[in-house]
Structure 1
Amino acid sequence: MYYDCRRYGTFQTDGSTMIRIRRKKFFWVIAQLQTLIQLVRVIAVALICVSANTATALEPMDNTIRVFLNDHCFRCHNSKIQKGKFRLDNLSTDFSTPQVAQKWGEVVFRINAGEMPPPKEPQPTAVELGTTAETITKKIREGAAIRMTKHGLLEHYRLSRQEYAHTIYDLLGVVFDIEAPGAFNEDPLWHGFDRIGALLATAPSHIDRYFKAADAVVNLAFPDHELPLKTVRKSPNKGKRQLLQLGENWGAFDLATSGHYRIRIRVSGLPAFSGRLPRLSLWHSQHKKSFAGMELSTSEDKPETIEFEGLFPAGHYQIRNHARTQKHPNGAYKIFRNEEVDVAQLVSSLKGGFLSSKTKIVDEEGRPVVPLLLVDWVEVEGPLAIEDNRSKRKGVIPENKDDPKQIHVCLKHFAQRAWRRPVLNSEIEPFIELIIAEQKAGETFRSAYKSALSSILVARSFINIEEGSPDEQHQQVNDFQLASRLSFLLWSSMPDEKLFATARNGRLHTAEGLISELDRMINDPKIHRFLDSFPRQWLQLHRVGMFQPDPNLYPEYDPWLEESMVMETTAYFVEMFKNNLPLREIIDSNWTMLNSRLAIHYGLSIPSQAKLVRVQLPPKSQRGGILTQASILSLTSDGTRHRPVHRGAWFSEAIFARSPLPPPPNVAPLEPVEKDQPKTTIRAQLEAHATTSTCVSCHAKIDPLGLAFENYDAIGQWREKENVEGGVGEDPIVNASGTLSDGKTFAGPSEFKKLIAEDDRRLAQAFMEQLATYALRRIMTVDDIEHLHSIVAAQKANGYRLQNLIRGLVMSELFKRRGS
């Protein structure tokens, strides 16, 4: 239940606006009273369950297991020594407690992985290991039913802000700018995921923003006056063209409101003599990012008209030759020319410097030194009244304002779509009362009705995904909750009418009904939301560019390269999905997605097409798979140097789904090499750094996963020697060899990738854990492992293909089951 903590009596004035706000919030609270009553019932039942289950602890471990633990575990995990920050000698055997079961699950995992006991300790027999793991696993399973009863009757998972925006658009056809100043705070992340229910708390400040957002959304959907369709064109002065060198921009247009627009640009894009293509971007000045763009390759005497159509937030837009020039960090741009040139004047005639002897537009042969844009005009049409968006609003406002029955029907239908479930008549009555009260206070029916719509959009059932029942304990979600679970997985949004219909007729819980909807939704254009959102969250791509590379060390790094890095990885995932490729190709393949900017960065041939395309890699390219993509290699760097430990920790977390322990406090960082000391690699410094047994033990698992990529610098470029700042002598040759925790060795990144890809079952199990975390909006527990492994095992014969794994999760019992 949410409350507005402000005291309404503290308003200094009682103007009509304040009275309306107070009345509206008052009726909103009234509308939630039933939910409050239900919540009290939930708490009462939960207390009864907890009381009953607390008294039911499972029997202690048998003596054989206690002897095994005493002989092989307690010496390193006791009251004085807790290696890995794990104490075992006093761990409870009450397996009805989720936290206890989770810790014993960790013990089983370490035994099965061959990590415990460590190789240097006395080793038990295979029979002893197997018996111990099986006995503990049996105890965990026995406690599962009791642990399930400890769930609340009704659980809520707040929508992430991106999901809120998508849901608003699919509900009303309205573009709400979640990144606008004062709109919504950024959502907290858990290992890259922004949809974990336990983290998405709702504070009073959130409710204030939801109220403002709801009012803005309703006013956009149902304006008092329809926004006229406009077509506005901007051009340079007569007989002129706008010349844009790398990093330069032209203030092109302003959008007063967010919405659907069509933008046309007449432009020539001239590649540099190196083959690099210019990237035209529509840059939003307030958000400081590109909302659309295209690589171009045209002649200056034959410009082309390009078109972008889609959803654009309000604000000022620039046409930008998207790159950074010279050595300006953090996206700063130095303007060289940024002026108009005569239409009749050829670029090849602009030889020599301009405004600076160091700046050239073309070389002596008349070829552009850097990619150039020549803009003739830009034309903006909109906001466009798309019929599909209009249909979403049809029937929301009643045609007859004097017909109470029609008003009730319209409100109820809207609430059912917004709340994504059946709605009782009693739940609508407070909103009817709000409309009546608003009208008595002097508001028009339209204004009062819009207030009711806004109130529905701040109800808990809209802001949250609800699972369970307020009346009784359910182990599975119902059809409507399953519909939401499916739509928020694949579309990051609410179900559409077809999915609602399947839920209403009860077919969604049948295998035929669910697979039919799954097939349809995968083929819907909205699937692009999953294909972009999931890899960004799973692989933590938000970290790319978090620490901007030092321009003195990496002068070639620019915003378009940074954007291309992320695009390569997300496009790679899309290609894997659409072609249903084996998961092992995530790690090792002979292809990637490439544009001209990435090709130059990697030292590969530039693709013939002026866009991101799939290319076959040459045998010695040192690329293939996501691990050697610049996005992954750079997100673990600090802007000046690569960080092998961070690379290893990321690999363990993202690829193996195993989060390494944080370093102990007061660990001294690696210092730069002193001026009078011999140059040495970071690897050599790390080996000297790990001095205690605890350090060595932990780093032995993490470091090889990062050291395998020593041949790649902080921005993912290949190298044979490590560029060491400071010190004396030559830069040292890198060493990318290593030994994995299972004893397997590798000589470099290629061998490492092959070793990892060979164990595709482990890859699939880890991937399934990440996918389920995203889909179910919670951290996986020991109670989920058996389900996850079962889903993966069913895909072994097909080679663990990506789309098959996703389908396997959706069709599983785990996907229908409530959270553990």
Structure 2
Amino acid sequence: MNLFKNSRRLLLTIVLLGTLTTGALGGAKFDLSTRAFFKMHCLHCHNSEKQKGKFRLDNLSTDFTNPLVAEKWSEVRFRINAGEMPPEEEKQPTANEIGGVVDELTRQIREGAAMRLAKRGSLEHYRLSRQEYAHTIYDLLGVVYDVEAPSTFNEDPRLHGFDRIGAMLSVAPSHIERYLQAAEAVVEQALTDSATPTKTDRRMAGEGKRQLLQLGESWSFDLQHPGRYRLRIRASGLPAFTGRIPHLSIWHRHHKRSFDGVDLVAAENDPKVIEFEGLFPAGSYDIRNHARTQKHANGAYKLFRNQLIDTTNSVAVLKTRHPSPWTKVVDEQGRPVMPLLLIDWIEIEGPLKTEADLAKRKGLMPANEKDAVEIRTCLKHFAKRAWRRPVKDAEIEPYTNLIAAEQKAGESFKSAYQSALASVLVSRSFFNLEEGSPDKKRTRLNDFELASRLSYFLWSSMPDEQLFAAARSGKLRNLGSLGQQVDRMMADPKINRFLESFPKQWLQLHRVGMFQPDPKLYPEYDPWLEESMMKETTAYFAEMFTGNLSLREAIDSDWTMLNSRLAIHYGIPGPHPMGFTRVKLGPKTGRGGMLTHGSILSLTSDGTRHRPVHRGAWLSEAILAYTPPPPPPNVDPLEPVESNKPKTTIRSQL
């Protein structure tokens, strides 16, 4: 019976089914060499009769799932690793013996922490991360809510790069206030968005003029309302004579990141119309040219201002605000010395209203505000979707009572009903993932809990109607049905949320750019290069996932995902791809596998030099799933080699 067509599907199903039950938590057992170490070097000073430092070791529990016990063993590990124990007058263990005991204690502490995180009570609830909250709001109501805007949600805490560790996502009083603000804004937008007209606004550079963008300069526009927009831009893109292609990017000023972009090559007399469509938060945006070039030998300056140029003239020269009144932007052969963008106009259409988004709000508002049955039905339908489970009539009663109370206080029905909808979104059942029952102990997820676990794993959001239907049928946990749902969900565009977020968290790519490279040493480093390096890694992971490739290719391969910017940066000969494309590598490029990606190499450097020790620690944690113990406090850091001394490698210094 071919239930699983490939290993990818089998892996996902095993992961999901492996979370259905919980085992008993037992005490740890040390290996023979560790027990011998304690007997030889520790127990004669820390036993029932003698406790140096008021510390007894012979009866110390080995239940590392107990945080107090784990803390005491961490202290033991620290003392041994620092060379404080055993004391100098006692027989000293070898470095290998110390290393073995420290490794064993580290393993036990980590395993105990993992088991502690996995331990379940009768009712467990985990707060949605802020990205999960945003995706859930959109999939529930078709509303774009900007969770990164000021006064919304703080950044979620991370553990080993992951921001979706349930034990880390606690709820503080400040969260409730922000959930209430968010709920009111979301409901208001959901009920009024349908009435907001779709507008088309075109901004021209000027009659007979073109906007020249270069060297990180921009042309700005604002979006007053969040939502789905279609942006059209007519522009020419002139590559530099070095081969560098201009990159047109839609940059959000507050978020300080690109929401979309494209490499553009189009002749000055044959501009192209580029179209972007997607979900955009409100705010100020820049159309940017991410190109960056240093001063050229023929006199081109490093920085320019945006200028309007006459379309009847050549772009061979450009008047600027620099001391020199004229600056060349092409060389003597008429070739641009830097990538240039010439913008004719931008057209903004939106907020767009798709049938799919409007369908999410169907039945949200009762047609007859006097019909108590219809009001209850609409509220219950909304609560079932928002809470991702069946809802009892008694659970809806507080919300109908709220409507009645507000109307009695003089509020309109619409205002009172909006308050009830917002209250549903402030319920713990919405902003938490709940598993278990408060009235009974069970060791298996029910079908609705399994549906939510599956959807938040693959989509970072709530189940869709097909997944809800499978849960209602009671057959979701059946391997055949579960396998079908996994296949369907991985074919859905929402899988891109997983393909984008998982490698960033797993490989800790949020640290890329934390240490900006020294511009004197790396003058070509710019935001587009940094963005391209991260996209290379996420695109590589997506290619492996969708192609069901061997895990070995994560370490070694004869291909990678490149755009023109990275191809030039890596020195890989053309033709250079316009967007991210799978490119076969030559035998001497040294770029196969993710470990050679610019993103990985940059996050393990300090902006001026590589850091082999940090790189090794990252490799151990992210790839080998082993977090090295902290270094002893008496080890001095490596200092840079002074310029008047012979050069030496990090290995030699160590």
TM-score category of the 2 structures, normalised to the smaller one = 0.7 to 0.9
Quick one: which of 588, 613, 622 aligns to 1:645?
A: 613
Whether the 8 Å CA contact 1:352–1:361 is kept in 2: the answer is no
Quick one: which of 215, 231, 247 aligns to 2:216?
A: 247
Q: Which residues of 2 match residues 796-811 of structure 1 at below 5 A?
A: none
> Displacement of 1:72 after TM fit?
5.0
> Displacement of 1:641 after TM fit?
1.6
Change (3 A) 1:410 1:259: same
Aligned counterparts of 2:338 and 2:265: Cα–Cα separation in 1:
13
State the TM-score, normalizing by the size of structure 1.
Answer: 0.67
Q: Show the counterpart of 2:573.
A: 605
Q: How far does the alpha carbon of each residue in 1:411-431 deviate from its partner, in whole angstroms, 9 at most, with x for none?
A: 011111001111111111110
- Counterpart of 1:427 in structure 2: which amino acid? E
Quick one: which of 437, 454, 472 aligns to 2:422?
A: 454
> Displacement of 1:70 after TM fit?
4.1
> Displacement of 1:176 after TM fit?
0.2
Whether the 8 Å CA contact 2:233–2:347 is kept in 1: the answer is yes
> Displacement of 1:316 after TM fit?
1.2
Q: Does 1:385 align with 2:353?
A: yes
> Displacement of 1:250 after TM fit?
1.3
Q: How far does the alpha carbon of each residue in 1:715-735 deviate from its partner, in whole angstroms, 9 at most, with x for none?
A: xxxxxxxxxxxxxxxxxxxxx
Change (3 A) 1:78 1:340: farther
Q: Does 1:310 align with 2:275?
A: no
Q: Show the counterpart of 2:36.
A: 71
Quick one: which of 517, 520, 540 aligns to 1:572?
A: 540
Whether the 8 Å CA contact 1:604–1:621 is kept in 2: the answer is yes
Q: How far does the alpha carbon of each residue in 1:605-630 deviate from its partner, in whole angstroms, 9 at most, with x for none?
A: 13443111110001000111000000
Q: Show the counterpart of 1:619.
A: 587
Whether the 8 Å CA contact 1:74–1:89 is kept in 2: the answer is no
Q: Show the counterpart of 1:301.
A: 269
> Displacement of 1:355 after TM fit?
3.4
Structure 1 unaligned blocks of 5 or more: 1-52, 82-86, 105-116, 125-132, 328-332, 688-820
Q: Show the counterpart of 1:159.
A: 128
Q: How far does the alpha carbon of each residue in 1:448-499 deviate from its partner, in whole angstroms, 9 at most, with x for none?
A: 0010000000110101101111111111111000000000011000000100
Quick one: which of 543, 547, 556 aligns to 2:515?
A: 547
Whether the 8 Å CA contact 1:531–1:574 is kept in 2: the answer is yes
Q: Show the counterpart of 1:732.
A: none
Change (3 A) 1:266 1:92: same
Q: Does 1:355 align with 2:322?
A: yes
Aligned counterparts of 1:150 and 1:605: Cα–Cα separation in 2:
53
> Displacement of 1:545 after TM fit?
0.1
- Counterpart of 1:246 in structure 2: which amino acid? L
Quick one: which of 194, 199, 206 aligns to 2:163?
A: 194
> Displacement of 1:171 after TM fit?
0.1
Greater Cα offset, 293-302 or 661-670? 661-670
Q: Does 1:340 align with 2:308?
A: yes
Quick one: which of 362, 372, 376 aligns to 2:340?
A: 372
- Counterpart of 2:345 in structure 1: which amino acid? W
> Displacement of 1:596 after TM fit?
1.3
- Counterpart of 1:168 in structure 2: which amino acid? I
Q: How far does the alpha carbon of each residue in 1:160-201 deviate from its partner, in whole angstroms, 9 at most, with x for none?
A: 000000000000000001111111100011111001111111
Change (3 A) 1:78 1:395: farther
Whether the 8 Å CA contact 2:304–2:320 is kept in 1: the answer is no
Q: Which residues of 2 match residues 214-293 of structure 1 at below 5 A?
A: 214-223=183-192, 226-251=195-220, 253-293=221-261
Change (3 A) 1:148 1:580: closer
Change (3 A) 1:438 1:353: closer
3-state SS of paired residue (1:261): strand
Whether the 8 Å CA contact 1:607–1:615 is kept in 2: the answer is no
Q: Which residues of 2 match residues 68-147 of structure 1 at below 5 A?
A: 69-72=34-37, 74-75=39-40, 90-93=59-62
- Counterpart of 1:542 in structure 2: which amino acid? H
Q: Show the counterpart of 1:798.
A: none
Q: Show the counterpart of 1:808.
A: none
> Displacement of 1:580 after TM fit?
0.4
Whether the 8 Å CA contact 1:158–1:201 is kept in 2: the answer is yes
Whether the 8 Å CA contact 1:247–1:334 is kept in 2: the answer is no
Q: Show the counterpart of 1:682.
A: 650
Change (3 A) 1:446 1:604: same
Aligned counterparts of 2:357 and 2:389: Cα–Cα separation in 1:
22
Q: Show the counterpart of 2:21.
A: none
3-state SS of paired residue (1:223): helix
Quick one: which of 374, 384, 403 aligns to 2:371?
A: 403
Q: Show the counterpart of 2:82.
A: none
Quick one: which of 522, 525, 528 aligns to 2:490?
A: 522
Aligned counterparts of 1:522 and 1:488: Cα–Cα separation in 2:
13
3-state SS of paired residue (1:548): coil
What is the number of residues matched between the two proteins? Answer: 594
3-state SS of paired residue (1:345): coil
Q: Does 1:171 align with 2:149?
A: no
Aligned counterparts of 1:298 and 1:320: Cα–Cα separation in 2:
16
Whether the 8 Å CA contact 2:250–2:286 is kept in 1: the answer is yes
Change (3 A) 1:121 1:310: closer
Whether the 8 Å CA contact 2:562–2:577 is kept in 1: the answer is no
- Counterpart of 2:645 in structure 1: which amino acid? Q
Aligned counterparts of 1:95 and 1:238: Cα–Cα separation in 2:
74
Aligned counterparts of 2:72 and 2:477: Cα–Cα separation in 1:
34
Q: Does 1:561 align with 2:529?
A: yes
Q: How far does the alpha carbon of each residue in 1:631-671 deviate from its partner, in whole angstroms, 9 at most, with x for none?
A: 00000111222111110000001001111112233643322
- Counterpart of 1:633 in structure 2: which amino acid? L
Q: How far does the alpha carbon of each residue in 1:738-781 deviate from its partner, in whole angstroms, 9 at most, with x for none?
A: xxxxxxxxxxxxxxxxxxxxxxxxxxxxxxxxxxxxxxxxxxxx
> Displacement of 1:509 after TM fit?
1.1
Aligned counterparts of 1:543 and 1:160: Cα–Cα separation in 2:
19
Aligned counterparts of 1:350 and 1:95: Cα–Cα separation in 2:
71
- Counterpart of 1:272 in structure 2: which amino acid? A
Q: Which residues of 2 match residues 731-810 of structure 1 at below 5 A?
A: none
Q: Does 1:502 align with 2:473?
A: no
Q: How far does the alpha carbon of each residue in 1:571-612 deviate from its partner, in whole angstroms, 9 at most, with x for none?
A: 000100111000010000010011111111111113443111
Aligned counterparts of 1:502 and 1:672: Cα–Cα separation in 2:
61
Aligned counterparts of 2:62 and 2:641: Cα–Cα separation in 1:
51
Whether the 8 Å CA contact 1:353–1:360 is kept in 2: the answer is no
> Displacement of 1:149 after TM fit?
12
> Displacement of 1:147 after TM fit?
9.1
Aligned counterparts of 2:525 and 2:194: Cα–Cα separation in 1:
48
> Displacement of 1:350 after TM fit?
2.5
Whether the 8 Å CA contact 2:318–2:327 is kept in 1: the answer is no
Whether the 8 Å CA contact 2:203–2:347 is kept in 1: the answer is yes
Q: Show the counterpart of 2:87.
A: none
3-state SS of paired residue (2:166): coil
Whether the 8 Å CA contact 2:447–2:477 is kept in 1: the answer is yes
Greater Cα offset, 220-229 or 387-396? 220-229
3-state SS of paired residue (1:189): coil
3-state SS of paired residue (1:657): coil
RMSD value, Cα: 3.5
State the TM-score, normalizing by the size of structure 2.
Answer: 0.84
3-state SS of paired residue (1:305): strand
Change (3 A) 1:324 1:654: same
Change (3 A) 1:352 1:97: closer
Structure 2 unaligned blocks of 5 or more: 1-23, 47-55, 74-92, 296-300
> Displacement of 1:234 after TM fit?
0.4
3-state SS of paired residue (1:310): strand
Whether the 8 Å CA contact 2:236–2:272 is kept in 1: the answer is yes
Aligned counterparts of 1:66 and 1:162: Cα–Cα separation in 2:
43
Whether the 8 Å CA contact 2:317–2:327 is kept in 1: the answer is no
Q: How far does the alpha carbon of each residue in 1:132-166 deviate from its partner, in whole angstroms, 9 at most, with x for none?
A: x9xx99xxx9x9xx999973100111000000000
Aligned counterparts of 1:66 and 1:374: Cα–Cα separation in 2:
69
- Counterpart of 2:211 in structure 1: which amino acid? Q
